[in-house]
């Protein structure tokens, strides 16, 4: 990929949803509807040592919230102790992605209110945060998985406002995925490889069960996703 394209991707990431802009478009919609009672109350059943995502629309939002928590903590740890040799370009990109993921997490926490899952516990033993390849391959896994997760969950949402916001967030996640692929393989084509897009050139869509299996090694807190609606 030409350097000009790489720079354009970085600009796209930087101009994506930041904390302030996220709340500008999301706070006026989902937060308002939450206050009006569109999200069922008392649907979050705590289990000993674990959590339930709840049921219906709330379960879908909590599912996204869990994935955003995973990504936010990962990038926070990445930037807390940057790997050896991290250059200025990588530092800026990863800092921007961290800020986006924190903004997404803050949004879901506020939108779900008392129906939201608590802070999850994660296991990072499989990641060598001091090694560039380990960090970026993990980031690639999370971003590709996140895009396919949102694409798969979209069909489970019924509220138009929730669907619109999920669409905006997944567009940012797709930018993250593209730039991470470029960091790992400059001028490469892995961003459009068989594990990323389907035969029609569209981003993959994954069922929640497939997504949870991919991220399970990183999540310590048991999660009950049985209340997710069926497509």
pLDDT in tens, 168-220: 998 899 899 999 999 998 765 554 455 555 443 446 678 999 999 999 999 99
Residue 77 to residue 106: CA distance in whole angstroms: 17
pLDDT in tens, 9-50: 444 434 443 333 443 444 433 443 443 344 443 334 444 457
Residue 98 to residue 102: CA distance in whole angstroms: 6
Task: Quote the tokens at residue 185.
Answer: 């393989």
pLDDT in tens, 135-181: 999 999 999 999 999 998 988 988 888 888 888 998 899 899 999 99
pLDDT given for residue 132 in this prediction: 98
pLDDT in tens, 84-94: 999 999 999 99
Nearest to 105 by CA among 134, 65, 132: 65
**Architecture of the structural domain at 17-224:** Up-down Bundle (1.20)
């Amino acid at each position: 990929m030409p350097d000009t394209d790489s720079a354009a991707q970085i600009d796209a990431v930087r101009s994506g949803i930041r904390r302030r802009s996220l709340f500008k478009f999301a706070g006026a919609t989902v937060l308002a509807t939450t206050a009006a009672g569109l999200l069922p109350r008392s649907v979050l059943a705590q289990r000993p040592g674990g959590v339930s995502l709840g049921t219906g629309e709330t379960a879908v939002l909590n599912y996204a919230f869990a994935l955003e928590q995973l990504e936010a903590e990962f990038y926070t740890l990445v930037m807390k102790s940057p790997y050896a040799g991290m250059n200025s370009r990588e530092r800026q990109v990863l800092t921007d992605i961290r800020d986006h993921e924190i903004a997404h997490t803050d949004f879901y926490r506020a939108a779900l209110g008392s129906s939201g899952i608590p802070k999850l516990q994660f296991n990072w033993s499989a990641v060598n945060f001091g090694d560039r390849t380990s960090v970026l391959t993990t980031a690639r896994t999370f971003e590709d998985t996140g895009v396919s997760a949102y694409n798969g969950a979209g069909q489970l949402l019924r509220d138009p406002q929730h669907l619109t916001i999920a669409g905006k967030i997944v567009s940012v996640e797709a930018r993250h995925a593209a730039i991470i692929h470029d960091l790992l393989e400059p001028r490469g084509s892995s961003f459009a490889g068989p594990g990323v897009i389907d035969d029609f050139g569209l981003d993959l869509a994954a069922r929640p069960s497939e997504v949870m299996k991919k991220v399970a090694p990183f999540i310590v807190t048991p999660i009950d996703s049985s209340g997710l609606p069926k497509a």
